[in-house]
Structure 1
Amino acid sequence: MTRKIKGIRYQREQIETPDDDFLNLDWIKKGNNRLLIISHGLEGGSDRHYVMAMAKLFSSNGWDVLAWNNRSCNGEMNRQRILYHHAASYDVRTVVDHALSNGDYKEVTMVGMSMGGGQTIRYLGEEPEFGLPDEVKKAVVISVPCSLPESVDTLSLRSNAVYERRFLGKLKDKLKRKAEQYPDIDVSALADIKKLELFDEMYSAPLHGFESRKAFYEHCNPLPFIPKISRDLLILNALNDPLLIGDCFPYHLAKDSSNVHLETPRRGGHVGFVASGSEYTYSELRTLEFLTKE
């Protein structure tokens, strides 16, 4: 689904990361004391319709909004050798800490779509190790591959070929640009790669310091972090999402938690949730409801 979202004007800020890289942050500031932080999906950015619609909805309802872009996303290549992945909670932490640094916000909530949902889960679940600001109150994750190894396997299905081709094509182009910065990255095999799992085995895993795609997926898996989350979290995953199976619907974890809420609508697809006759999707309206409710 592609929508034209009108009336959104971001104010861009570029911030430095602890490892001498940078992140592009797109703000909507209206002087509110509560902030929504939006994390986009794989090969997305703050310019994607599902991010802009969420930003428009919340900025129209008394929130400031910060839509951040993962390294190398939304048009500008990052400096470091690494790109980004589902476990890039270190960048989420940099964004949240920066947003709170001026003391403008008494309340911060978060929403992550697909990969951004996995990053959000990990960030929240790392509280025992890194702590969590008191201002961070609630989060919603939408169409999130809670069990990443299982979700990745769905991309090999013929019915999901359109997703695999799109992701793979964008990642190949991005790696070629990265190889211009780091000529020792050998991209001679790129043209022969037809499967995302092979791309991850040959490039994504070693680029980020892993010996295999299996080790990479296991490290990036959000599932082990869900039981560690102490803040209110809504997981909104549609049963007909073609990229979600198995423990991507973590019923057992939600059942054992007082603050993790799992909703599995029968329909919604992958970051779809079209609401007939509405400017906004069901997932956007449900996110506003959940994050605003006292």
Structure 2
Amino acid sequence: MNQAASLASQQTPHFNSPWWLPDGHSQTLWRKLRPAINISQRRQRIELADGDFIDLDWVDAQDSDQKPIALLLHGLCGCSKSPYIQSLQHCLKENNYSSVAMNFRGCSGEMNRLARAYHSGVSEDVEAVITQLSAANAERKFVIVGFSLGANVSLKWLAQTRHSERVHKAVAVSTPFSLALCSHAMGQGISKFYGKYFLKSLRRDMQAKKKFLKSQGLHDQLAILESCGDLSQLSTIWEFDDSVTAPLHGFSSAQDYYDRCSSLSFLASITTNTLLIQSNNDPIIPAEAVPKAGDLNANTRLELTASGGHVGFVGANTGLWLERRVIDFIEAD
């Protein structure tokens, strides 16, 4: 039995970080830099009511018909090719679970058709995807696994969806429960590194989007992006959200966006059996953003590890602690 196939049969241990990944930063960076697991994905396009589209990438598993389908949601500036997505899809396949990774708008390698993109509260796009997947897989249930931004989206969606009876369980990893606190944190101290990294990626994506819209003659959509102003003058994620994310998606300001989309305020309304995996040394999510007991209900369980970084959780033994924990939770009674 190979390492991935044995995941579901092992008892989940407490998380222990390897000696060579001693802190949250090294855990976070190694997850991105470790050797990639390359898997074959099958693409499906979902057409949306507003004329845009979302691309899904499937990994089909044998003998999976009696098991739920896992829907995976990536983080900010991620996609279905992100290492944590591909690693989990590989492990799910080895354990006979079919999975589908949702690429948020503009994240699949193809530009979306509208000026708008995605953000931490796009639960309406998840609803559109689940609606179509449910119709095509009428006898199947779903498991939702979200990472970082995708975790925040998934928790908000779980509290709002009309498809809750189709969801078996959910897992949220490294959730930015309070968007304002996390945005502020990425402008402070060593965490500025992450803020600058994301800001550079977001600026690059915006410039590429403008070129695409211009090349396609979509001048009305281009004008919407141009109205966001000079991106070179933006120095923090908060400023980007205030100048770009908020106006593109119907919010009056970054603060309005954060207030209306932070998953912390949705936790009490979740009716699905949901596991929240967080780390105490997450360099992006400050301790004060993590839910307290009073924020949770009987359906939500918080597992707070001493180490693990942000979407890291690379274990001391197999390195696949996070993947094992997700599968164990899915299969537990």
The TM-score bracket by the shorter chain reads over 0.9
Work out the CA distance in 1 between the residues paired with 2:86 and 2:139: 21
Does 1:29 pair with 2:69?
A: no
Q: CA deviation at 1:7?
A: 4.6
Question: How has the CA–CA distance of structure 1 residues 102 and 276 changed in structure 2, closer, same or farther, with 3 Å as cutoff?
Answer: same
Is the Cα–Cα contact under 8 Å of residues 280 and 287 in structure 2 kept in the other structure? Answer: no
Is the Cα–Cα contact under 8 Å of residues 59 and 65 in structure 1 kept in the other structure? Answer: yes
Give the secondary-structure state (helix, strand or coil) at the position aligned to 1:109: strand
Does 1:108 pair with 2:137?
A: no
AA matched with 1:210:
F
Question: How has the CA–CA distance of structure 1 residues 222 and 191 changed in structure 2, closer, same or farther, with 3 Å as cutoff?
Answer: same
Q: CA deviation at 1:78?
A: 0.7
Work out the CA distance in 1 between the residues paired with 2:77 and 2:35: 19
Question: How has the CA–CA distance of structure 1 residues 105 and 158 changed in structure 2, closer, same or farther, with 3 Å as cutoff?
Answer: farther
2:286 aligned partner: 245
Work out the CA distance in 2 between the residues paired with 1:8 and 1:105: 26
Work out the CA distance in 2 between the residues paired with 1:107 and 1:16: 22
Q: CA deviation at 1:277?
A: 3.5
Give the secondary-structure state (helix, strand or coil) at the position aligned to 1:218: helix
Work out the CA distance in 2 between the residues paired with 1:197 and 1:7: 34
Work out the CA distance in 2 between the residues paired with 1:261 and 1:253: 12
Task: Select 1:42's aligned residue among 76, 84, 105.
Answer: 76
Out of 187-196 and 116-125, give the one that drifted further: 187-196
Does 1:147 pair with 2:178?
A: yes
1:51 aligned partner: 85
Aligned length: 289
Task: Select 2:108's aligned residue among 74, 99, 122.
Answer: 74
Q: CA deviation at 1:93?
A: 1.1
Structure 1 unaligned residues grouped into runs of 5+: none
- Moved runs in structure 1, 4+ residues, more than 4 A? none
Give the secondary-structure state (helix, strand or coil) at the position aligned to 1:110: strand
1:289 aligned partner: 328
Task: Select 1:265's aligned residue among 298, 305, 311.
Answer: 305
Percent sequence identity is: 29
Provide, for residues 69-121 of structure 1, a one-character-per-residue CA deviation record: whole Å limited to 9, x for no partner. 00011321111221100111111112222222223652211100000000110
TM-score (normalised: structure 2) = 0.82
Work out the CA distance in 2 between the residues paired with 1:56 and 1:253: 36
Is the Cα–Cα contact under 8 Å of residues 23 and 71 in structure 1 kept in the other structure? Answer: yes
Is the Cα–Cα contact under 8 Å of residues 226 and 253 in structure 1 kept in the other structure? Answer: no
Work out the CA distance in 1 between the residues paired with 2:167 and 2:311: 24
2:273 aligned partner: 232
TM-score (normalised: structure 1) = 0.93
Does 1:8 pair with 2:48?
A: no
Question: Which structure would you say has the larger Rg?
Answer: 2
Structure with the larger RCO, 1 or 2 (CA within 8 Å, 6+ apart): 2
Structure 2 unaligned residues grouped into runs of 5+: 1-29, 214-220
Alignment of 1:187-198 (within 5 A): 189-198=230-239
